Amino acid sequence: MTVFLTLFRQFIWRALVREKLRSVITVLGISLGVGVAVAIRLANVGALESFRAATDSVAGETSIQITGSAGRFDEMVLADLGWLRSYGQVSPVITGFAKADLSNIDSDSGEAAVADSHGPYLQVLGVDVLRDRLLRRYRLLRVNDNGAEPGIRYLLMLLADPQSIVLTEQFARRHQISIGSRIFLLIGESRRAFVVRGLLMDEGPARALQGNFALLDIAAAQLSFNRVGLLDRIDVKLKSGSDIGEVEREIREKLPDRLRVLRPETGYDQVEKMIAAFQFNLSALGSIALLVGLFLIYNTVSISVITRREEVGSLRAVGTTQVIILGLFLGEALLLTAVGTVVGLGLGRILAGAAVQITATTVETFFIASAATEAVVRHSVGVDEVTLAFAIALPLSIVASAVPALEAARVSPIEAMRGAERLARSFKPSIKHLLLSSTLFVGAYRFSSLDPTNGLPIFGYVAALMLMFGGAFLVPNVLWLACVVNSRWLARLFFTAVIEAKLASANLRASIPRVSISVAALSVALSMMVAVSVMIGSFRDTVSYWVGETMVADIYAKPITRAATTDEGELSDEAIKVAQNDPQIEAVYPFTTQQIIYADEPVTVGAGDFATFLKHGRLLFKAPSDARDQIRDAIGHDFVTVNESFSLRFKKYVGDMIELPTAFGSHEFKIVAIYYDYSSSRGWVVMHQGTYAKHFPYSRPTSMSIYLQPGADAEVVSERLSRAVDKDAQILFATNVDLRREVMRIFDSTFAITYALELIAIVIAALGVISTLITLILERRGEIAVLGFLGATHRQLRRMVVMEALLIGGVSQAIGIAIGLMLSLVLIYVINVQSFGWTIQFHLPLGFLVQSTLIMIGVTAVAGLYPAARAAKTDVVRFARAE
């Protein structure tokens, strides 16, 4: 061991220190790869963990929950559930989200102050405090200046006034709110005033959502959330010693059909399932950076072996065993990876903040309402992340460096006596590589046709990996061909640099075995960039077309607090009437939505007047292609249309029956049409409003589409409606143009992170190219010196190296585009469909491909400048003396 460590220090460590630049580049590449992977993990875990923490905190000591099968339920049901008390403590709950209007704290509510709708979401709990105190811990900070800790009776008194609210100490401190302050909350379409009567200590539910929690008396909550006579759920804390599973079974058997029992963590499990595909895709994309980083390890060790063959031969000649040689080079890989991983962990923590910010909009829009509030990484780099990073990176680095390390172990002592490999082996095109590539491409095709696993497109990603490796194996032959073509034909295009181009081709051709890996790494990174860009471009075109075809209303209105992931806010009859009575409005299409659980996943049930829709609205139907007759038939029947996500996720098609939980128990509906929908990855079921009212009586319209008379100005009418509704009504009126813009904005922000990830992968690969070129120049310094002897000027030497870089860039881009286009097909037709249930129309972005080619050629030329400068500075005199 001592011998090994001594040799390691003398042979490996000193070389790494001597070749600082190359070592730094390799470490940087690994650290970027690890950093990205860690950042994605922290962002993913952070989003869910904060949601879990909130769910757990708010749940308190709740063992099970009773909810309506179709959402809210009549509170009179409580009277029939007296038997629940035999199992433990029972507490009815109203829960919802409200936006805090922080700009109007303590302002005079008599004035129509402009509401600030950008405040944080507050999770509001409405409970009967007397009953609830055994399920959740409420400790008030203080309620007066006496300093005595108030008891539950005091809390009860506090909340007796329907305008009373209890906030958290954390929230109050953050926003400079004190006891007695008046605060406005935007709840649905209403803006309601409350007076802060107490502050909860930072524990229990108060700790949820970074203190963004509020407590109301249940009656006040019912009034504020427009749920008078309704409940959201009943929380039950079982007696100690109860078997939860057993009790759950018993209760389930006793409950009427319209109610169901579940555990508090079910909500978290459902969201986790929904967000899984998004997070999986993000992790997969982030892994590309790590993969490219590992290419760098292979490259570095490979070059280290090649340039030091003579030294290795000398070591063998003096008696070093093959095992030690193998260990030395594996050790080099491990050392570089370990250092890169440590740096990467720190980098990951920094990048995680950016990752969370970039993905916050997407997570909030599609999965967790309060995510944007939590746009801070709650989860630090802990033991889990450190262990995972090392557990993945170190073994992979051994795999990456195994081949060159074994090659080093096989170097015979005679290499030392013969001298360095001055006579280069020229590369010959290999049928073996072509066969390997073909096999991988065929394999990719087969894997891409397999079904998802638990909703995750695992085989799709396997197919993608096979395509990437297939492309990598093409590199040597394509490089050879490019060198030949350049030398024989393209060089003539360079006019004054013909010899530099020929020399570049000759050098590269001889270096193909060494250069291939870094070219492959750059090709892989580029192919992912092309694939993702083509996919996003196609997606954007599809969404843009869809928006153009289906968003035909002139104005859209919804309560200001309504988001895709909250169940909050309904439009009042007054607001709808105001629209219907406007002389410039031809038709109003109120739409109602309700979130239910279908096959253990949240889906949305929606309803509108199909007659109005048939006259004014539009949907793009997948099956049948024109479903207007089916929509007409659905009026008065239990027929529904579903979106593509629903159909693909649950494998339900036109003609199938689905059983949905309704307010009165399960009921069967028939699917008569499937439509394209890019507004959500959730499943949607849409029915005529009459059918809906029959089965879901407790919901009211949550949005409306407004169709104007010909010639009416949408901005003007929008403005008029805003003024005409109740002054405290918080309704967002958006014109068609504004809404389309918002849809595209959300779309663009959703994919912002993918661009960032791909850019990082390209940077890593470019570092590999620089590292390789520098090494090749060092290895060829004798030849470069000879060129100096023969009269090559510094400029000619620089041009030669830059042209080598350009050839590398050109080949990488060519393979990148070819493989990238194939990958885009996998992304579009396999991964996206299996993850989100979206059909995307393929669109070839020629302009982008041309632009990216030019940029890549520019980038590689720039990457070649430093190695070129080093080549030009080759000390001819020193070489001459050494000769």
Partner 1 sequence: MPILVVDNVDKTYDGAGRAVNALRGVTFNAEAGDFIALTGPSGCGKSTLLHILGGIDRPTRGRVLLDGVELVSLSEEDLARLRRKKIGFVFQFFNLLPTLTVAENVELPLMLDGISNSSASKRTTEMLERVGLGGRAAHYPAELSGGEMQRAAVARAVVTRPDLILADEPTGNLDSENGTQVMKLLAELNREMRITVILATHSNEAAQYAVRLLHMRDGVIEEIA
H helix and E strand count, the chain: 32, 21
| Residue 307 Cβ vs partner 1, minimum distance, rounded to whole Å | 15
| 147 vs 791 by CB, closer to partner 1 | 791
- Sign, CA dihedral 241-246-251-252, equals positive
| Residue 874 Cβ vs partner 1, minimum distance, rounded to whole Å | 12
| Residue 352 Cβ vs partner 1, minimum distance, rounded to whole Å | 47
| 496 vs 625 by CB, closer to partner 1 | 496
Closest CA to 40 of 388, 373, 367: 388
| Residue 522 Cβ vs partner 1, minimum distance, rounded to whole Å | 22
| Residue 308 Cβ vs partner 1, minimum distance, rounded to whole Å | 19
Closest CA to 879 of 787, 770, 801, 774: 787
| Residue 789 Cβ vs partner 1, minimum distance, rounded to whole Å | 5
Mention every residue, 6+ apart, whose C-beta is less than 8 A from residue 793.
none
**In contact, 620 and 546? CB cutoff 8 Å:** yes
- The span from the CA of 783 to the CA of 503, in Å, is 11
DSSP 462-517: HHHHHHHHHHHHHHHHHHHHHHHHHHHTGGGGGGGGHHHHHHHHHHHHHTHHHHHH
| 111 vs 883 by CB, closer to partner 1 | 883
Q: What's 113's DSSP letter? A: P
Q: What is the largest CA-CA distance in the chain?
A: 102
- The span from the CA of 139 to the CA of 137, in Å, is 6
DSSP 191-223: EEEEEEEEEE-SSGGGGGGGG-EEEEEHHHHHH
| Residue 813 Cβ vs partner 1, minimum distance, rounded to whole Å | 24
**In contact, 78 and 92? CB cutoff 8 Å:** yes
Closest CA to 168 of 131, 209, 130, 129: 209
| Residue 791 Cβ vs partner 1, minimum distance, rounded to whole Å | 3
Closest CA to 39 of 358, 450, 348: 348
| Residue 519 Cβ vs partner 1, minimum distance, rounded to whole Å | 17
**In contact, 730 and 561? CB cutoff 8 Å:** yes
Closest CA to 677 of 604, 752, 598: 604
| 668 vs 883 by CB, closer to partner 1 | 883
- The span from the CA of 200 to the CA of 173, in Å, is 12
Closest CA to 183 of 168, 200, 199, 164: 164
| Residue 492 Cβ vs partner 1, minimum distance, rounded to whole Å | 8
| Residue 504 Cβ vs partner 1, minimum distance, rounded to whole Å | 10
Q: What's 93's DSSP letter? A: E
* The token pair that represents 101 in the structure block: 């209007």
Closest CA to 747 of 735, 757, 758, 755: 755
Task: List interacting residues with partner 1 (CB under 8 A).
Answer: 422-426, 496, 498-499, 502-503, 506-507, 509-510, 782-783, 786-796, 876-877, 880-881, 883
| 502 vs 688 by CB, closer to partner 1 | 502
- The span from the CA of 135 to the CA of 118, in Å, is 32
**In contact, 487 and 501? CB cutoff 8 Å:** yes
| 377 vs 501 by CB, closer to partner 1 | 501
| Residue 417 Cβ vs partner 1, minimum distance, rounded to whole Å | 15
* The token pair that represents 831 in the structure block: 């991964």
- The span from the CA of 192 to the CA of 221, in Å, is 11
| 619 vs 805 by CB, closer to partner 1 | 805
| 193 vs 869 by CB, closer to partner 1 | 869
| 346 vs 782 by CB, closer to partner 1 | 782
| Residue 505 Cβ vs partner 1, minimum distance, rounded to whole Å | 9
Mention every residue, 6+ apart, whose C-beta is less than 8 A from residue 571.
189, 557, 558, 559, 590, 700, 701, 702, 703, 704, 731
- The span from the CA of 137 to the CA of 664, in Å, is 34
Tokens 């179709």, residue?
A: 70
| 260 vs 509 by CB, closer to partner 1 | 509
Q: Which amino acid is at 873?
A: K
| 353 vs 782 by CB, closer to partner 1 | 782
* The token pair that represents 124 in the structure block: 């509001």
| Residue 496 Cβ vs partner 1, minimum distance, rounded to whole Å | 7
| 544 vs 796 by CB, closer to partner 1 | 796
| 443 vs 782 by CB, closer to partner 1 | 782
| Residue 649 to residues 20, 73, 376, 656, Cα–Cα distance (Å) | 52, 28, 32, 14
| Residue 422 Cβ vs partner 1, minimum distance, rounded to whole Å | 7
Range 463-486 burial, b when 16+ CB lie within 10 A, else e: bbbbbbbbbbbbbbbbbbebbeeb
| Residue 777 Cβ vs partner 1, minimum distance, rounded to whole Å | 13
| Residue 768 Cβ vs partner 1, minimum distance, rounded to whole Å | 22
Q: What is the separation, in whole angstroms, between the first and last Cα of the chain?
A: 38
| Residue 766 to residues 497, 528, 664, 771, 857, Cα–Cα distance (Å) | 25, 14, 62, 9, 11
**Phi, then psi, of 501 in degrees rounded to 5:** -65, -40
| 236 vs 503 by CB, closer to partner 1 | 503
| 503 vs 672 by CB, closer to partner 1 | 503
**Phi, then psi, of 124 in degrees rounded to 5:** -105, 135
User: What SS3 state is found at 449?
Assistant: coil
**In contact, 688 and 624? CB cutoff 8 Å:** no
| Residue 478 Cβ vs partner 1, minimum distance, rounded to whole Å | 18
| 333 vs 504 by CB, closer to partner 1 | 504
Q: Which amino acid is at 555?
A: I
- The span from the CA of 722 to the CA of 630, in Å, is 36
| 381 vs 777 by CB, closer to partner 1 | 777
| 819 vs 872 by CB, closer to partner 1 | 872
